Structure 1
Amino acid sequence: MKTIYKKLLILLLLLPFSVLAQNTVGGTVLDKASGQPIPGVNVNVQGAANGVSTDFNGKYQLTNVKRGDKIVFSYIGYMNTVVDYVAQNSLNVSLEEDANQLKEVVIQVGYGTVKKKDATGAVTVLTSKDFNKGPVTSADQMIQGKVAGLQIINGGGSPGEGATIRIRSGSSLSANNDPLYVIDGVPVAAGGVEGSRNPLTTINQNNIESISVLKDASATAIYGSRASNGVIIITTKKGKAGDMQINYNGNFQVSEITNKVDALSSTQFRDFVTANGTAAQQALMGAADTDWQDQIYRTAIGTDHNVSLSGGSDNIVYRASVGYANLNGILKRDNLERTTMSANVTGNFLDNHLKIELNNNTSLINSNYSNRGAIGSAIRFDPTQVVRNADGTFFQWYTSPTEINQLAGRNPLSQIEQQNSFGTAYRSIGNIQTEYKLHFLPELKAVANFGYDQLSGRSFGNTEANFLNGLAGSGFNNTYEKTQSRFNKLMDLFLNYNKKLESIDTQLDVTGGYSYQDFRESFYASNFNFQSNNTTVDPNFPSRINLQSFFARTNISVADKYLLTLSYRRDGTSRFTETNRWANFPAVALAWKLNEENFLKDVESISTLKLRGGWGITGQQDIGVSYPSIPLYLASNTAAQYQFGSDFYTTYRPQPYNSNLKWEQTTTVNAGLDFGFVNNRINGSVDLYKRTTEDLLLYTQNPSFFGFSNFDNYNVGTIENKGIEIAAEVIPFRNDNFEWRIGGNVTFQDSKITKLTTTQPNTPGINIGGYEGATGNTIQNHQVGFAPSSFYVYEQAYGVDGKAIDGVYIDRNKDGLITQQDKYRFHKPAADVFYGFNTSVTYKNFDMGMNWRGSWGNYNYNNVDSSKGFYNSVLIRNTDLSNGVENLLETGFQSNDTKRFESDYYIQDASFVRLDNVSVGYTFNQKDKASSLVKMTLSAQNVLIITKYEGLDPEISGGIDGNLYPRPITFTLGLNVNF
């Protein structure tokens, strides 16, 4: 009995110490990347029942914690964090996004969302951590090289430069091949207006939360007539509940030219003219040594600043931002100034049965367009001449002491300094969307989305009189102005029913509705000539296009293993007559989650294994004109006005039309596999596709001439695209302090015309692709059995020394003559393979990354060499001289006939590997404020390129290299502050 009492006494004495050991700990949980608090994070003691969740400010308080306990912080979309408790009173934690989990959350699709694991189509989703770093100014630059099947070719190195964007090669010959862009639920116009460079620069890249790329018809058919070339859905950032968060993101940029065209130096030029020129031509040479490319290019400076505010309560959240960028181009006087504003408010009312969301993105862009003609002139202009004469005027070629030689080339710097061109562009994209879940049937919600896309732009400028008229001129010779506006209105009305049928373990998601879009456009241009005191005007040509649609989609998931998607859209367009106005676009897709089957469910190394298959039809009616199928008379532009005395009068002319014009339709078959192994540390996808476009829309020559035009729009044939896309990501190593990621994608593609119902006289197929040097001639051709835009050329003859023989070509048809019938198709501009590779390393507070990109099997026509690489390109006249390129010295070409221009000698391999971006960043620890973040980043853009191509840059859209605005290397110092 005494023993029992002793034990009870000891237990009572120890009890207070045991109670005292049960501590309380609190703190804040933040997003590691943004520093924003995360509400709803689960905070638990490992192996125990006690746990809490963070509030809307990311704060928590956990009781009954003992020294030595492990506290687990977990939240969907983030990697779990485990912290040892050592009796601290405060414990702040930053959670890092888990890209693999995020891909399993939700992705944007037409008129709704779907979990990535339940997606049946070919869809790629990129979020902020996937985006390219560095001096990007538009959405396309953020994802370049990151998506299999998506090829983006920038138009050059000017700030805010536009790009050619193709998903799976494009599906048309001459109709619009751009993908459909949807911004916060509003389908927007891909084209710009006067005064704008790239319409995508109107969306501030710092406001973009995610970008979804929809590639196959099963994913895009719900968008119907505008989705034949894929869909890119841009979702902007939204507010989060909690205290106001302020974020600043800015950078400072320095750009330098790294490569110039191989024009003849002043020494090479003197030697050439001395050896080959006439006495009169030799006498024209000056005594200077001028590198005209150095004269027109500069070191360019740029800055970009962005501030955002976000926060909210349980029911209403908001985010607003303002941005300002001022970017100089490497071509002197080239400048882009952009101001952007955005606002988003989301409210939940009536016990979360009513949701109202308002979005707006507005931008104002001012541009100073430096005369790009100076780029070509810097190659052509005589390098032995001075930049300015002794009196300070620009050196020019003159026919008399006061009259400039109008046939001669112009001083490149004078083109920049004496020709002024400016632009302003305004764009506003907005919508209000309401969702109401019925109180008596909460599985059913009604959605109304009203949106708009408004663009207006103005370009204007003038030319100094002495640029045109010589020393006698003063002031301005002429001024011009162009204005353009576009307005797109949208109304979407649809119902969505989403219910889990427990009895049969099936998830049912059904959507159906109506869409209305109205597009209006107007244009105005005028030109005033000071000498004649005349003003010529291009009258306003207002146009209107209307699209109306009915759509439906059903998603069915059985046992979370077997997935079915059915969609249908019926579209009507005002572009076609009543007979052909409406078209139907169905699609079906199936998926099977193999990893959820019993025979694989317990295999721990397999995280994801899903087979997909889909079929669907999409349409195309965007051929660049509003009324292609009805007879119209249009007012003539300034070039066709009739003059009586000093007055100009507008004439009216009949327009070509084709009342039989109908929809271009694209049928896509897709098979895919999504995979993930070792807890998704190895993950990716493989897709095989075949896309067939019938009734191709093409603006081409009439089969038989009639009316007032021998060109019109026709449905002319069929094109077939097929390919394989592979994308993968690997995380070789990851722990609390270190993570290494490797990602890559590769696309194999092939396109071929399988049917053409029209050809041009005396030509097999349809000739396209004009070039400099032989006006009216072409270098490319569409023909059955070949890739679109294949090069159509003469076969160059070579001597035993391997050198091209001037003016000698192969008689391919053996008729003893060299004629058009000896031309053949030789390579193509489109790549056989293109790919992207990226890697990133995070060590404690440091992060580093690089992005590579390349293509193989693409060829260019080197129009710089063909137009400036022969004797007459230098020795044209006895009144002036023009420079050439070093290729002239290699070939010794003298002939100036069309055959030399169209020789396969100038078709060159343009395959390349490019190091797009290298970046390193450091995040500073902020101990005084748990929610603050300071990060600095240093990056270099357009670092390195490896290629055999002899031109300035192998990355050319369309394959005809007429001298590109050089892409500079850009160094950027960035700062991101969140508090």
Structure 2
Amino acid sequence: MSLSKLSRAFSLIVLALAAHVSFAQDRVITGKVSDASGAPLSGVSVVAKGSTLGTQTDAAGQFRLSVPASVNTLVLSSVGFETREVAIQGNSLTVSLAAASSSMEDVVVVAYGTRRKTDLTGSVVAVGAKDFQKGNINSAEQLLVGKVAGLSVTTGGGSAGGGSRLRIRGGASLNASNDPLLVIDGVPVDGNGISGSANLLNTINPNDIESMTILKDASATALYGSRASNGVIIVTTKKGGKGALRFNFNNVTSVGMIADYVDVLTADEIRGIINRDATATGNNTYKAMLGTANTDWQKEIYQAAIGVDNTISASGSLGNIPFRASVGYLNQNGILKTNNFSRISTAINLSPKLLNDNLAVNISVKASQTQNRFANEGAIGNAVTFDPTQPVLSGNRNWGGYYEWIAGGLPNDLSNRNPVGLLMLRDNRSTVNRMIGNAQFEYTLPFLRDLKLQANLGMDFADGSGNDNTDSVSATAFRDGGRKRYYEQQKINQLADVGLFYSKDIKKIKSKVDVLVAHSYQSFLTKVSNFPALSYRRIYDPANPAKKDTIIGSEPVFKTDRPEYRLESYIGRVNYTLMDKYLITATIRSDASSKLNPDDRIGYFPSVAVAWKAREDFFKNSKSINDFKFRFSWGVTGQQDGIGYYSYLPRYSLSSNTAMQQFGNAFVSYLRPEGYDPSIRWETTTTTNFGLDYGFFNNRISGTVDYYSRETKDLLANVAVASGANFVNEIVTNVGNINSEGVEVVLNLVPIRNKNVTWDLSLNYAYNKATITNLLRNPDPKFKGQEVTGIGGGTGNTIGIHAVGSFPNSFYMLKQIYDGNGNPIEGLFEDTNRDGIINNDDRQISQKPAADVLLGFSTNLTIKKFSVGFTGHGMVGNYLYNNVNSNNAVMRAVKNPVRFIGNATRNFLTTNFVNNWYLSDYYLENA
């Protein structure tokens, strides 16, 4: 054998031995990975530290990995969990992963991204699922009641599925909308709602919401530009996470009752008043009208409102794709009979990572169908005013069998109506289908990890339709017949955002910078189908009792409309942090809106904010102070909701079917010119905010203090125009300014926090003052202000005013004079201008409907797995006008001049007024 052959043979032997030794040194490690609750986690990455050897856990959370003997540590990681290094001890491991530190206390959803709470420079409040209002929640805004300083949530009407009025820092406008902008999973939605729905947010299942972030100051809201002057509420829905499949079922069964009845006179009291009047006057006309019943009309129309809300959800991983899916069903009766709201909802979220985890995808779809039966709310007023001496049913089939006041054999045109009949003989139902979906993409460049490409494609589709039918046998239909009205509307809101996000830690100078540059395009299309109301008669034949509806006259004209507007924007933001204690945020957004003429349609909305974590300089070594940060921000936002889609263009509208012109035997529609302002533009609001964030004793005591001032210019207002100058009496245009300022204080306490018991307390206080500083383009010493706030009763009565130097919508009343016992003297008012005449010139600005102070309080006590909580809220300094008393606490309400008997509120026994005095400030009450 040659030397070369021996050499080769030796080499092969050595390599074989080396391989054998290496193989002998490998070992197989098995294990199981679970979360903190013990549930198995699938898709967890298990890597031998210092190598590329790795695997993933299966659906049962188990893994098997062969590693060299030199490897002593495994690294386990998964989205949503803290990365953990585990020492290899033996061949079998059991590992538990803790959830990642991404709670609402740490990371906050803001405009176009997220930020650590400690790095916020603006006035931002995040409310997470654990802090939401609990109980019977039908609509998302109810989750926030009493939770946020400066946010008022006022329920409107109390109908099932009905909405609430949201105001952040009181609002910034006069005649335009004061509603905050709503952003749902990155999609700004149209705040005008959809036909057939009383509430924009009731189409979303509250059980699907993970958090709601309220952006208050201009630094936080400026990235939403021309729609953000009244603040922004960002709604983020729940997402899935890696792990085993989990199911959750939630049920809430509720019973609601009317809070209080209007205090009215009883049937016996009405009989006493009428009998005494007949004796005094010798006129028995009204006495003869008295009935023998004792009907409590309010109890006849109200009911116990039973509701059931069920949601089932599933979350976990489909392979390596985190997901969450839910289905919900809500059925809620209203406290007013015949009122009902139901909702079927579903939500799906997928959040996979692709391309070696470089591409993060988040797909979210929320769909719902809501059905409403709207009660005839006219029954509420009529239950207060209808004669309690009369029965509900008349004993015959006329007018549906319900008792009505009759004149000449027909229902009295001017009398009130049987409230039960109003409810039962009108059927108003609607169906709304809605889908909000979006796909978000974030791609991290492999060759430049600091740069990410981002895109958000979204759509909000809503379709509402309904039928509003009044039975032809109803007393309200005796002249024109029954009414059948069908309505339909579609809204399509499409969004396309694309941008670049760059983030870099510059360790040499202890700095961090991130930059966002983006382009946004959004279109809003509305399809309106105007189906005119049809009048019909129901023919009743005793020989053939089947009902037959016959249309009166010819079928009127059907019309459609497709208004649309578009918004194109460019967005820029820079966040800079120095030494993790000095922070600067600068933003700019330009908006181009098709609502405005080409010369004025582009607006620029900048902001700048700075913050200083003073703890690092003054309390660094303190064990009791863990947060002490000063904030300052300034910025400009806009408002365009008060502008019509085509307000700057001359345009014509088709007349309604009740306003047609007759030519011979034919009736034809005509075109009517609309008023317009070619130079209309959006309002602009400039806000300055000073803030302090504090935390003591490991945040056992924490909170915020904010002071803000705000000025709104170019107010959108209804302004009178000279006759013949613009086809109409008034137009919407830009005129006037409002200034406002306020203080907000939040105090959070944790009196008890240990292994078994946690007790949390939260209090918030908000003060706001607004003043109109200008309402005219040209000074006019005779101009007192713009009268607003119409009321029920009388003709053309208004009780409010927008006036320079006053709060918007201040009450504008006559000053009542009282007798020695403190009772109002009928018809006697103060002659404030001393001209000897009591008229409109004597009215004075007196009080306001807006509160000076908003208060919120919440507490929660958790003992192991049992939890109980309480939330309260209140207002101070606001007044209301009691239109119920001004209308009904008078003799003419009982003994009506058009010859029927009504009822009066109990306040009549105090005033003994004969006539109505709608403008008396006696009817202003501390709310």
| TM-score class, shorter | 0.7 to 0.9
Q: What does residue 467 of structure 1 align with?
A: 474
| 8 A contact 1:291–1:383 mirrored in 2 | yes
Question: Secondary structure at 1:117's aligned position in 2?
Answer: helix
Q: What does residue 909 of structure 1 align with?
A: 926
Aligned residue type for 1:767: E
* Alignment deviations for residues 588-610 of structure 1 (CA, whole Å, 9 cap, x no partner): 0000111223x411101011111
| 8 A contact 1:176–1:624 mirrored in 2 | no
| 8 A contact 2:78–2:242 mirrored in 1 | no
Q: What does residue 624 of structure 2 align with?
A: 605
1:385 aligns with 2:394: no
Q: What does residue 526 of structure 1 align with?
A: 532
How far apart, CA to CA, are the structure 2 residues paired with 1:737 and 1:485?
52
| 8 A contact 1:342–1:362 mirrored in 2 | yes
Q: What does residue 29 of structure 1 align with?
A: 35
Q: What does residue 82 of structure 1 align with?
A: none
Dislocated runs of 4+, deviation >6 Å:
24-27, 35-42, 53-61, 73-79, 89-98, 469-473, 759-762
Larger-gyration structure (1/2): 2
Q: What does residue 135 of structure 1 align with?
A: 136
How far apart, CA to CA, are the structure 2 residues paired with 1:260 and 1:115?
49
| 8 A contact 1:862–1:907 mirrored in 2 | yes
Q: What does residue 198 of structure 1 align with?
A: 199
Once the two structures are TM-superposed, the CA of residue 530 in structure 1 deviates from its matched residue by 1.6
1:769 aligns with 2:789: yes
How far apart, CA to CA, are the structure 2 residues paired with 1:660 and 1:614?
31
1:677 aligns with 2:691: no
How far apart, CA to CA, are the structure 2 residues paired with 1:328 and 1:96?
40
Aligned residue type for 1:837: F
| 8 A contact 2:636–2:685 mirrored in 1 | yes
Q: What does residue 355 of structure 1 align with?
A: 360
Question: Secondary structure at 1:194's aligned position in 2?
Answer: coil
Structure 2 counterpart of 1:867, from 878, 887, 901 = 887
1:323 aligns with 2:320: no
Greater Cα offset, 539-548 or 675-684: 539-548
How far apart, CA to CA, are the structure 1 residues paired with 2:436 and 2:835?
62
Instruction: Say if 1:872 and 1:520 are closer, same or farther in 2 by CA, change over 3 A.
Output: same
Q: What does residue 541 of structure 2 align with?
A: none
Instruction: Say if 1:314 and 1:420 are closer, same or farther in 2 by CA, change over 3 A.
Output: closer
Once the two structures are TM-superposed, the CA of residue 75 in structure 1 deviates from its matched residue by 12
Once the two structures are TM-superposed, the CA of residue 459 in structure 1 deviates from its matched residue by 2.3
Once the two structures are TM-superposed, the CA of residue 655 in structure 1 deviates from its matched residue by 0.6
| 8 A contact 1:39–1:57 mirrored in 2 | yes
How far apart, CA to CA, are the structure 2 residues paired with 1:212 and 1:91?
38
List runs of 5+ in structure 2 lacking aligned partners: 1-29, 47-54, 64-75, 83-91, 538-551
How far apart, CA to CA, are the structure 1 residues paired with 2:454 and 2:154?
37
| Identical counterparts, % of pairs | 40
| 8 A contact 1:771–1:863 mirrored in 2 | yes
Q: What does residue 757 of structure 1 align with?
A: 776
| 8 A contact 2:79–2:241 mirrored in 1 | no
Structure 1 counterpart of 2:863, from 818, 843, 858 = 843
1:425 aligns with 2:432: yes
Instruction: Say if 1:340 and 1:103 are closer, same or farther in 2 by CA, change over 3 A.
Output: closer
* Alignment deviations for residues 512-535 of structure 1 (CA, whole Å, 9 cap, x no partner): 111111111132232111242333
| 8 A contact 1:38–1:57 mirrored in 2 | yes
How far apart, CA to CA, are the structure 2 residues paired with 1:771 and 1:91?
71
Once the two structures are TM-superposed, the CA of residue 60 in structure 1 deviates from its matched residue by 9.4
Structure 2 counterpart of 1:658, from 663, 677, 700 = 677
Structure 1 counterpart of 2:419, from 397, 401, 412 = 412
Instruction: Say if 1:436 and 1:502 are closer, same or farther in 2 by CA, change over 3 A.
Output: same
Q: What does residue 574 of structure 1 align with?
A: 594
Aligned residue type for 2:334: G
How far apart, CA to CA, are the structure 2 residues paired with 1:74 and 1:827?
61
Aligned residue type for 2:459: Y
Once the two structures are TM-superposed, the CA of residue 630 in structure 1 deviates from its matched residue by 1.1
Q: What does residue 511 of structure 2 align with?
A: 506
Q: What does residue 708 of structure 1 align with?
A: 727
How far apart, CA to CA, are the structure 2 residues paired with 1:700 and 1:406?
36
Aligned residue type for 2:326: S
Instruction: Say if 1:76 and 1:127 are closer, same or farther in 2 by CA, change over 3 A.
Output: farther
Q: What does residue 493 of structure 1 align with?
A: 498
List runs of 5+ in structure 1 lacking aligned partners: 1-23, 43-52, 62-72, 80-88, 911-979
Aligned residue type for 1:828: K
| 8 A contact 2:417–2:475 mirrored in 1 | no
Question: Secondary structure at 1:242's aligned position in 2?
Answer: coil
How far apart, CA to CA, are the structure 2 residues paired with 1:97 and 1:285?
74
Instruction: Say if 1:377 and 1:688 are closer, same or farther in 2 by CA, change over 3 A.
Output: same
Once the two structures are TM-superposed, the CA of residue 36 in structure 1 deviates from its matched residue by 9.6
How far apart, CA to CA, are the structure 2 residues paired with 1:518 and 1:693?
26
Instruction: Say if 1:666 and 1:355 are closer, same or farther in 2 by CA, change over 3 A.
Output: same
Q: What does residue 147 of structure 2 align with?
A: 146
* Alignment deviations for residues 507-559 of structure 1 (CA, whole Å, 9 cap, x no partner): 11100111111111132232111242333346223211111111100000111
Q: What does residue 539 of structure 1 align with?
A: 559
Instruction: Say if 1:103 and 1:860 are closer, same or farther in 2 by CA, change over 3 A.
Output: same
Superposition CA RMSD, Å: 3.0
Once the two structures are TM-superposed, the CA of residue 135 in structure 1 deviates from its matched residue by 0.7
1:517 aligns with 2:522: yes
How far apart, CA to CA, are the structure 2 residues paired with 1:325 and 1:645?
54
How far apart, CA to CA, are the structure 2 residues paired with 1:394 and 1:647?
39
How far apart, CA to CA, are the structure 1 residues paired with 2:479 and 2:884?
34
Question: Secondary structure at 2:176's aligned position in 1?
Answer: coil
| 8 A contact 1:527–1:535 mirrored in 2 | no
1:217 aligns with 2:218: yes
Question: Secondary structure at 2:556's aligned position in 1?
Answer: strand
Aligned residue type for 2:490: S
- The answer to which structure, 1 or 2, has the higher relative contact order (CA under 8 A, 6+ apart) is 1
How far apart, CA to CA, are the structure 1 residues paired with 2:415 and 2:105?
63
Instruction: Say if 1:878 and 1:407 are closer, same or farther in 2 by CA, change over 3 A.
Output: closer
Instruction: Say if 1:472 and 1:126 are closer, same or farther in 2 by CA, change over 3 A.
Output: closer
Q: What does residue 585 of structure 2 align with?
A: 565
Instruction: Say if 1:577 and 1:678 are closer, same or farther in 2 by CA, change over 3 A.
Output: same
How far apart, CA to CA, are the structure 1 residues paired with 2:681 and 2:44?
53
- After TM superposition, list the pairs within 5 Å mapping 1:436-451 onto structure 2: 436-451=443-458
* Alignment deviations for residues 210-262 of structure 1 (CA, whole Å, 9 cap, x no partner): 11100000010011011111110011111111221111111211122231001
Instruction: Give the structure-1-normalised TM-score.
Output: 0.83
How far apart, CA to CA, are the structure 2 residues paired with 1:305 and 1:648?
53
| 8 A contact 2:226–2:638 mirrored in 1 | yes
Once the two structures are TM-superposed, the CA of residue 27 in structure 1 deviates from its matched residue by 7.9
* Alignment deviations for residues 803-833 of structure 1 (CA, whole Å, 9 cap, x no partner): 1000000001111111211111000010000
| 8 A contact 2:80–2:241 mirrored in 1 | no
Instruction: Say if 1:175 and 1:116 are closer, same or farther in 2 by CA, change over 3 A.
Output: same
Aligned residue type for 1:305: N
Q: What does residue 400 of structure 1 align with?
A: 408
Greater Cα offset, 733-742 or 562-571: 733-742
How far apart, CA to CA, are the structure 1 residues paired with 2:276 and 2:31?
89
Aligned residues between the structures: 849
Once the two structures are TM-superposed, the CA of residue 365 in structure 1 deviates from its matched residue by 0.8
Structure 2 counterpart of 1:689, from 708, 714, 719 = 708
| 8 A contact 2:471–2:477 mirrored in 1 | no
| 8 A contact 1:166–1:229 mirrored in 2 | yes
How far apart, CA to CA, are the structure 2 residues paired with 1:93 and 1:804?
75
Structure 2 counterpart of 1:306, from 311, 314, 330 = 311
How far apart, CA to CA, are the structure 2 residues paired with 1:767 and 1:436?
56
| 8 A contact 1:31–1:95 mirrored in 2 | no
How far apart, CA to CA, are the structure 2 residues paired with 1:59 and 1:447?
32
How far apart, CA to CA, are the structure 2 residues paired with 1:25 and 1:312?
19
Once the two structures are TM-superposed, the CA of residue 74 in structure 1 deviates from its matched residue by 14
Q: What does residue 115 of structure 1 align with?
A: 116
Q: What does residue 916 of structure 1 align with?
A: none
Question: Secondary structure at 2:619's aligned position in 1?
Answer: helix
